Amino acid sequence: MAKVLMKGNEALSEAAIRAGLKAFYGYPITPQNEVPAYMAEHLPLRGGVYLQAESEVSAINMVYGAAGAGARVMTSSSSPGISLKQEGISYIAAAQLPCVIVNVVRNGPGLGGIQPAQGDYFQAVKGGGHGDYRLIVLAPGNVQEMADLTTLGFDLADKWRNPVMILSDGILGQMMEPVEFSENQETVKVEKPWATTGAVNRERNVVNSLDIIPETAEKNMTALLAKYDRIKEEEVRWQEDNTEDADVILVGYGTSARVARSAMELARKEGLKVGLFRPITLWPFPEQRLRELAKPGRKFLAVEMSAGQMIEDVRLAVNGISPVYLSNRLGGMVPTPEDVLKKTRDIVEGRVN
Amino acid sequence: MPRGEVIVNSELCKECSLCVVACPQDVLAIGKAINSKGYHSVEAVAPEKCTGCTLCAVMCPDVVLTIRRKSPERK
Amino acid sequence: MNTVFQKPETLTDVQMHYCPGCTHGIIHRLVAEAIDSLGVREQTVGVASVGCSVFAYDYFNCDMQQAAHGRAPAVATGIKRVLPESIVFTYQGDGDLASIGMAEIVHAAARGENITVIFVNNAIYGMTSGQMAPTSLLGQKTATSPRGRTVEEMGYPIKVCELLATLDGPAYLTRVSTHDSRHVLQAGKAIKKAFEIQQQKKGFALVEVLSTCSVNWGMTPVNALKWMEENMVPYYPLGVYRDVTAKEGN
User: Using one digit for the tens of pLDDT, what is the confidence trace for A86-120?
Assistant: 999 999 999 999 999 999 999 999 999 999 999 99
What is chain A's mean pLDDT, rounded?
A: 96
Tell me the mean pLDDT in the region A160-182: 96
Rounded Cα distance between A128 and A126, Å, is 6
Residue B15: φ, ψ to 5°: 65, 30
Interface test with C, best of A52, A54, A216 (most C CBs within 10 A): A54
Is A47 in the C-facing interface, judged by CB distances under 8 Å? no
- Of the pLDDT bands very low, low, confident and very high (cuts 50, 70, 90), residue B75 is very low
Long-range CB contacts (< 8 A, 24+ apart) of B9-13? B9/B63, B9/B64, B9/B65, B9/B66, B10/B35, B10/B41, B10/B42, B10/B64, B11/B35, B11/B36, B11/B37, B11/B41, B11/C15, B12/B62, B12/B63, B12/B64, B12/C15, B13/B39, B13/B41, B13/B42, B13/B62, B13/B64
Asked if A208 and C75 come within 8 Å (Cβ–Cβ), the reply is no
B touches A, CB cut-off 8 Å, minimum 3 pairs? no
Query: At A75, which amino acid appears?
Result: T
Burial call B35-49: b when 16+ CB within 10 Å, e when fewer: beeebbbbbbeeeeb
Question: Looking at residue A2, what is its pLDDT?
Answer: 87
What pLDDT sits at residue A272?
Answer: 98
| Residues forming a β-bridge with B6 | B67
Q: Are A251 and A312 in contact (CB under 8 A)?
A: no
Angle between helices A254-269 and A337-348 (to 10 degrees): 60
Chains that touch B (3 or more CB pairs under 8 A): C
Which residues of chain A does C63 touch, with a Cβ-Cβ cutoff of 8 Å?
A: 196-199, 204-206
Q: How far is C70 from chain A (nearest CA, A)?
A: 10
pLDDT in tens, B17-57: 999 999 999 999 999 999 999 999 999 999 999 999 999 99
CB C15 within 8 A of CB B62: yes
Pick out chain C residues at pLDDT < 50.
250
| Sequential DSSP letters for A312-331 | HHHHHHHTTSS-EEEEE--T
pLDDT for the residue numbered A182 = 78
Cis ω before C73 (30° cut-off from 0): no
> Which residue of chain C has the CA closest to B39?
C20
Closest partner residue to C181 (CB to CB) among B15, B59, B67 is B59
Using a CB–CB cutoff of 8 Å, tell me whether C199 touches chain A. no
Residues of chain A with pLDDT > 90: what percent? 96
Best to test chain B binding among C3, C5, C184 (most B CBs inside 10 Å): C5
> Per residue in A262-309, pLDDT tens?
999 999 999 999 999 999 999 999 999 999 999 999 999 999 999 999
Question: What is the model's pLDDT at position C250?
Answer: 47
Per-residue model confidence as pLDDT tens digits over A40-81: 999 999 999 999 999 999 999 999 999 999 999 999 999 999
Question: Looking at the predicted complex, does its ipTM rise above 0.95?
Answer: yes
- Asked if A73 contacts A99 with a C-beta cutoff of 8 angstroms, the reply is yes
**Nearest CB neighbour to C65, from listed A57, A68, A87:** A68
Does chain A touch chain C (at least 3 C-beta pairs within 8 Å)?
A: yes
Q: Which CATH architecture has domain C24-247?
A: 3-Layer(aba) Sandwich (3.40)
Q: Among residues C194, C178, C175, C170, which one has the least CA distance to residue C240? A: C175
Pairing of strands A163-169, A136-138: parallel
Residues of A in contact with C47 (CB under 8 A): 65
CA distances from A113 to A79, A110, A331, C105 (A): 10, 9, 7, 31
Q: Is A27 helix (H, G, I), strand (E, B) or coil?
A: coil
Residue A28 has pLDDT above 70, yes or no: yes
Domains of chain A: 4-234 (3.40.50.970), 240-348 (3.40.50.920)
pLDDT band at A1 (very low <50, low <70, confident <90, very high): confident
Collect all residues of chain A within an 8 Å Cβ-Cβ radius of residue C57: 206, 208
| Whole-structure pTM value | 0.97
The burial class, CB within 10 Å (0-12 / 13-18 / 19+), for A229 is: exposed
* Eight-class DSSP state of C91: E
For A24, A26, A228, A339, the CA distances from A51, given in Å and listed in that order, are: 6, 7, 32, 43
Is pLDDT of B72 > 60?
no
> Which among C172, C166, C183 is positioned nearest to C118, based on CA atoms?
C172
Instruction: Find out whether A157 and A93 touch, Cβ atoms under 8 Å.
Output: no
Do A198 and C47 lie within an 8 Å CB cutoff? no
Chain A touching partners, 3 or more CB pairs below 8 A: C
Q: How many CB atoms lie within 10 A of CB A285?
A: 21
The pLDDT tens digits for C55-109 are 999 999 999 999 999 999 999 999 999 999 999 999 999 999 999 999 999 999 9
